[in-house]
Amino acid sequence: MMRRRVVVVGGGLAGLAATMKLAEDDIGVDLVSMVPVKRSHSVCAQGGINCCNKFTRAQGDSEWNHFDDTAYGGEFLNNQPPIKEMADWAPKIVDLLDRLGVPFNRSEEGNLAVRRFGGTLYKRTVYAGASTGQQLLYALDEQVRRFEVDGVVRKFEFWEFLGPLIDGQGACRGVVAQDMFSLEIRAFPADAVVMATGGCGLVFGKSTMSMVCTGGANARCYRAGAHYANGEFVQVHPTAIPGADKLRLISEAARGEAGRVWVPRRQGDARHPNDVPEAERWYFLEEKYPKYGNLVPRDIATREIFALCKNGYSVDPHNYAVYLDLTERATGIKREVLHKKLGNILEIYEQFVGTDPLGEPMKIFPAVHYSMGGLWVDYEKNHHTGGLNWDSPRNQQTNVPGLFAAGECDYQYHGANRLGANALLSCIFSGLLVGRALRAFVQNPPGGGAAALPAGLAERETARHKAAMDALLKRDGTENPYLLHRELGRLMTANVTVVRDNRDLRATLERLEELRERGQRAALSDRGDWTNQNLSFTRALGDMILLARVITEGALRRDECRGAHYKPEFEIPAPTADDPAELQRQALEWCRRYQRQNDEWLKTTLARWTPAGPEFSYEPVECHLIPPRPRTYGVRGAEVIEQVWRAMSPARGNPGGAAGAEAAGAAIGGRA
Amino acid sequence: MNDQAQRTISVRVRRQDRRGSAGYWQTFRIAHQPNMNVISLLQEIAARPVTVEGRHTAPVVYDSNCLENVCGSCSMVINGRARQACNTLVDALLAERPQVEIAPLSKFPVVRDLFVDRSRMFDALKKVRAWIPVDTYGPIGEGPVVAPEDAATRYDLSRCMTCGCCLEVCPQVNHRSEFIGPQAIGQAALFNLHPTGAMNSGPRLEALMEPGGISDCGNAQNCVKACPKQVPLTWAIGKVGRDTTLHAIRRWLMK
Ligand SMILES: Cc1cc2nc3c(=O)[nH]c(=O)nc-3n(C[C@H](O)[C@H](O)[C@H](O)COP(=O)(O)OP(=O)(O)OC[C@H]3O[C@@H](n4cnc5c(N)ncnc54)[C@H](O)[C@@H]3O)c2cc1C
Ligand code: SF4
């Protein structure tokens, strides 16, 4: 029998994991990627990958704790069956990577070395220097090359995905893609398609992401009918360095290895940081979050930095910046030791800023970093384990039959905020999972699969894409796509990142509409028929504007604060009273409001494309194992909230129900 | 301050429209900004592709992705030296000479402008079987224990990003030779150093004993100096050289 054939679009960690898993099961793969897969964006990941491990287990850690940290970190917006399954698989995935020869750092005994990352109290992160993503990507790339030599995998590198092939019944039957050199457009029929095309940082102009991370491919699936979920959740990383072309990340691993964040206590203090005495340094995260310190989750660290800089504490006159200190004076750790663990990021800082990050504190700035939102995908819960049915073809499938998604381009694993070192895990996990899901799916693909493509479908779709390209190549106009992209980036960064305000969001939607119109007047400065990068970029610009609209409108509708989505107007004021009874009352009010907020907003945003703009709907989040609780990270002053919430909980048959809050209110009221 | 604001940079770029067509130079003038790298010069040209003569032209085509010296895409010959466009800072270049000159790598076929075809390096990875063959991707337990020093050596080799700078500077890599180049030899060493990989080091060594293999290395040692990731290439070449000799003797004794 002829081999079953799947098209995998994108060869970052998710796409490669899916490809190798499929190939192992002797399912043929056409792997389509805009860049040689070994140069995919995953190569940038620095700090590490999370798993419960021997060392943390000895301290009482478990897969359950990892699961709990992930849910709490995502403010309970992530469906629990998939993240429970992911946490359960994490140690096994790291074992596999180790067997594949990833040069992880080692302990003296030859075990995998571990470090701490944000949003957890355990050292749950294994790493390969400070270029873990590079090392993991290479390991998977090597496995796929092995199957390429065997002929099971065919690679189409420097090919750009233009859209899925959708049949009359609405099922996905393959893709249309373009050779980026010859500009040939052709169809790739398949029994199923996996999108593994990464995030959309370029919607914000400059970010920590790579140049292909426009989200273009994801927008094309959305345009073709796939639902886009939680688009408004965008992670802004607290520690990056600005550049003329991109913002470069300084990994959370720097803080995991004892790096400390501070500003001078005096606003506008112009002294060199090394001249600021200890007593005049304000380690504001350590002070405010005694439990997690510098390793609070990213959304919280970023907001704290923003607020401080807004109040005049920035250490840079033109930007929002604070110090990240890795000097021996601040950390007590010797230069050589840090070099072994963080070499790559130290090099990045030295090369691009020009000073020695171990000799003086680094100056760091927040930057757009990760897309929690993405293509909506399904899962099938295992009622026995609370995790997933590993074999179900529902796992990772979008609402379009036959179209699957995995990696950063799906929305599934990180809720309202992703924890550091959980992305590499979710990418590899979802890649392996989709591979397994397809094993069942391709036995009986919709409409008979690749071999029985409806007559004319491929021809019609290639002709449509070709006509669109010809029109774009010929188009006259006054707008310049690169300058429009800069405008888009400035607009989105100013209004749809750390702090959001409904008035600004409304104005942004209007500006986006204007950019969309102007985008249709963008003319190419290259009309050639050979390796035309201008063509590819201008096409992606339209996609970025489309996604910007989904992100912005999703943010406008969501009237609450959750994880990375922060609207001060809807923030629940923290209890501040000195009088204990009043404090209790305020805390109770806080908990009630938090409860109401969950009742109203603990739900997934779904956007569906229509010619008139996105149509929004919402679906409930499955929190069947860990009931939502206030996400305080032990901030000073929040003890009373936790106390009140705990007192409320046992009174509730249904944790999370409003009735429980009332009952608890009565109990506490009685005591006061 | 005004002088600073109006300072411009002259950028000379080697261009070529198609595979095999003749190359030519164009010069652009770009406004100077602080912290510019060579990529940002090319981005500025793309935003306004007009030469010093005032001629409208197509944006310069080049390969890039991560922009932080880890994906290996943007290797170019900049002011005569093969390096990454992303981590080459313009102010440092201007301190050397007043004009910035950018040309494609010369040891690979040009696709267009600065974009070259480096597929020979990926083919070389197939040839030296640069992977660890495992029995299954299923959960069958931990990997082998590795000493921290061995892991560190392997990490140094594994940072190779297939950028091509080492081939560019190697006198033995040229259109008359079949020499596989330093990168692939470094990768063979990487896999032979792994406990599982060592079990099948034979085929890797044999691939490098063929024509175009390790014996074509002329020991010029340019590669290790040009490598932007400090991959210990001469160490790897020495090691693989000794291992191939041993392998040949062993094979001869087994006959
Ligand atoms: C600087 C940085 C550091 C990070 N560090 C960490 C870390 O330490 N730990 C952690 O867990 N996470 C980290 N992350 C996040 C993590 O790296 C990413 O989320 C992850 O690598 C995404 O992998 P992916 O496989 O989903 O997609 P990507 O690696 O982005 O791959 C996308 C693929 O899709 C292809 N593609 C895109 N569009 C098209 C198209 N139209 N046609 C054809 N192909 C297309 C691309 O060519 C590419 O092959 C970091 C991220 C950044 C930016
Ligand atoms: S060995 Fe160094 S110079 Fe050669 S390809 Fe690898 S990274 Fe580039």
Q: What is the pLDDT of residues A423-450, one digit of tens each?
A: 999 999 999 999 999 999 999 999 999 9
Name the minimum distance, in Å, from the CA of B141 to any CA of chain A. 6
Closest CB to A39 among B72, B112, B130: B72
Distance between CA atoms of residues A87 and A386, nearest Å: 12
The DSSP element (H or E) to which A557 belongs, if any, is: helix A533-557
Find the residues whose C-beta lies inside 6 A of ligand 1.
A 9-15, 32-35, 37, 40-42, 44-49, 132-133, 160-161, 196-198, 208-209, 212-213, 216-217, 249, 251, 369-370, 407-409, 421-424, 427
Give catalytic residues of A, as residue numbers: 298
Distance between CA atoms of residues B41 and B86, nearest Å: 10
Find the residue in B nearest to A146 (Cα). B131
Per-residue confidence (pLDDT) for residue A637, from 0 to 100? 84
Atom of ligand 1 at shortest distance to CA of A13?
25
- CA quadruple B59, B65, B66, B67: dihedral, nearest 10: -20
Cα–ligand 1 centroid distance for A254 (angstroms): 21
- Per-residue DSSP letter, A112: B
How many Cβ atoms from other residues are within 10 Å of residue A474's Cβ? 10
Site of tokens 């956007």? A607
Per-residue confidence (pLDDT) for residue A337, from 0 to 100? 93
Q: Which of A243-247, A570-574, A668-672, B85-89 has the lowest mean pLDDT?
A: A668-672
Closest CB to A243 among B37, B133, B194: B37
Strands A281-282 and A260-264: antiparallel
Distance between CA atoms of residues B70 and B92, nearest Å: 21
List the residue whose alpha carbon is closest to atom 4 of ligand 2: B166
Find the residue in B nearest to A435 (Cα). B137
Per-residue confidence (pLDDT) for residue A648, from 0 to 100? 87
- Per-residue DSSP letter, A447: G
Q: Which residues of B touch A531 (CB under 8 A)?
A: 61, 111-112, 115
Position A371 pLDDT exceeds 70: yes
A13-24 vs A132-149: helix axis angle to the nearest 10? 30
| Residue A154 contacts B, CB cutoff 8 Å | no
In this prediction the ipTM stands at: 0.97
Q: What is the pLDDT of residues A460-519, one digit of tens each?
A: 999 999 999 999 999 999 999 999 999 999 999 999 999 999 999 999 999 999 999 999
Quick one: which ligand is closest to A206's CA? 1
Cα–ligand 2 centroid distance for A34 (angstroms): 22
Find the residue in A nearest to B148 (Cα). A106
Which of these, B23, B60, B21, B56, lies nearest to B38 by C-alpha position? B60
**Residue A25: phi, psi to the nearest 5?**
-90, 15
Contact of A39 with B73, CB cutoff 8 Å = yes
| Residue A107 contacts B, CB cutoff 8 Å | yes
Q: Which residues of B touch A156 (CB under 8 A)?
A: none
Cα–ligand 2 centroid distance for B230 (angstroms): 8
| Residue A211 contacts B, CB cutoff 8 Å | yes
- CA quadruple B178, B182, B184, B186: dihedral, nearest 10: 160
Distance between CA atoms of residues A104 and B127, nearest Å: 26
Q: What is the pLDDT of residues A228-238, one digit of tens each?
A: 999 999 999 99
Distance between CA atoms of residues B197 and A104, nearest Å: 16
| Residue A96 contacts B, CB cutoff 8 Å | yes
Q: What is the pLDDT of residues A129-142, one digit of tens each?
A: 999 999 999 999 99
Position A668 pLDDT exceeds 90: no
Q: Which of A39, A40, A246, A251 to mutate to test the pocket of ligand 1 (most atoms within 8 A of CB)?
A: A40
**What residues contact A373, with CB distance under 8 A and at least 6 apart?**
A228, A229, A230, A231, A232, A233, A234, A411, A551, A554, A605
Map out the domains of chain B with their CATH numbers. 3-116 (3.10.20.30), 119-253 (1.10.1060.10)
Per-residue confidence (pLDDT) for residue A283, from 0 to 100? 98
Contact of A303 with A635, CB cutoff 8 Å = no
Q: What is the pLDDT of residues A285-301, one digit of tens each?
A: 999 999 999 999 999 99
Closest CB to B142 among A95, A107, A181: A95
Find the residue in B nearest to A38 (Cα). B71
For A298, A544, B214, the CA distances from A492, given in Å and listed in that order, are 19, 11, 53
Task: Specify which residues A619 forms β-bridges with.
Answer: A604
Name the minimum distance, in Å, from the CA of A8 to any CA of chain B. 18
Answer yes or no: do B133 and A351 touch at CB < 8 A. no
For B174, B207, B208, the CA distances from B179, given in Å and listed in that order, are 8, 12, 10
The DSSP element (H or E) to which A428 belongs, if any, is: helix A423-441
Angle at A576 between CA A571 and CA A581, to 5 degrees: 120
How many Cβ atoms from other residues are within 10 Å of residue A573's Cβ? 9
Q: In this prediction, what percent of chain A has a pLDDT beyond 90? A: 93
- Assign A189 to helix, strand or coil: strand
Distance between CA atoms of residues A636 and A566, nearest Å: 20
Distance between CA atoms of residues B211 and A592, nearest Å: 77
Answer yes or no: do A245 and B132 touch at CB < 8 A. no
Average pLDDT of every residue of chain A: 94
Quick one: which ligand is closest to B120's CA? 2
Distance between CA atoms of residues A526 and B56, nearest Å: 10
List the residue whose alpha carbon is closest to atom 1 of ligand 2: B183
**What residues contact A328, with CB distance under 8 A and at least 6 apart?**
A334, A335, A358
List the residue whose alpha carbon is closest to atom 7 of ligand 2: B160
pLDDT by residue for chain B (255 residues), tens only, comes to 344 557 999 999 999 999 999 999 999 999 999 889 999 999 999 999 999 999 999 999 999 999 999 999 999 999 999 999 999 999 999 999 999 999 999 999 999 999 999 999 999 999 999 999 999 999 999 999 989 999 999 999 999 999 999 999 999 999 899 999 999 999 999 999 999 999 999 999 999 999 999 999 999 999 999 999 999 999 999 999 999 999 999 999 987
List the structure tokens of A657.
């129900």
For B132, B189, B238, B243, B252, the CA distances from B249, given in Å and listed in that order, are 25, 19, 17, 10, 5
Position A143 pLDDT exceeds 70: yes
Contact of A390 with A381, CB cutoff 8 Å = no
Closest CB to B159 among A20, A44, A131: A131
Mean pLDDT of A519-537: 96
Answer yes or no: do A245 and B56 touch at CB < 8 A. no
Mean pLDDT of A618-622: 98
Answer yes or no: do B73 and A482 touch at CB < 8 A. no
- Assign B23 to helix, strand or coil: strand
Cα–ligand 2 centroid distance for B121 (angstroms): 10
H helix runs in A569-638, sequence order: 580-601
**What residues contact A389, with CB distance under 8 A and at least 6 apart?**
A380, A381, A382, A395
Query: Residue A660's pLDDT band (boundaries 50, 70, 90)?
Result: very low
| A599-612 as b/e: b if 16+ CB within 10 A | eebbbbbbbbbeee
Find the residue in B nearest to A109 (Cα). B147
Per-residue confidence (pLDDT) for residue A654, from 0 to 100? 41
Per-residue confidence (pLDDT) for residue B5, from 0 to 100? 55
Q: What is the pLDDT of residues A301-343, one digit of tens each?
A: 999 999 999 999 999 988 889 999 999 999 999 999 999 899 9
Map out the domains of chain A with their CATH numbers. 5-233+372-452 (3.50.50.60), 237-366 (3.90.700.10), 457-557 (1.20.58.100), 578-668 (no CATH)
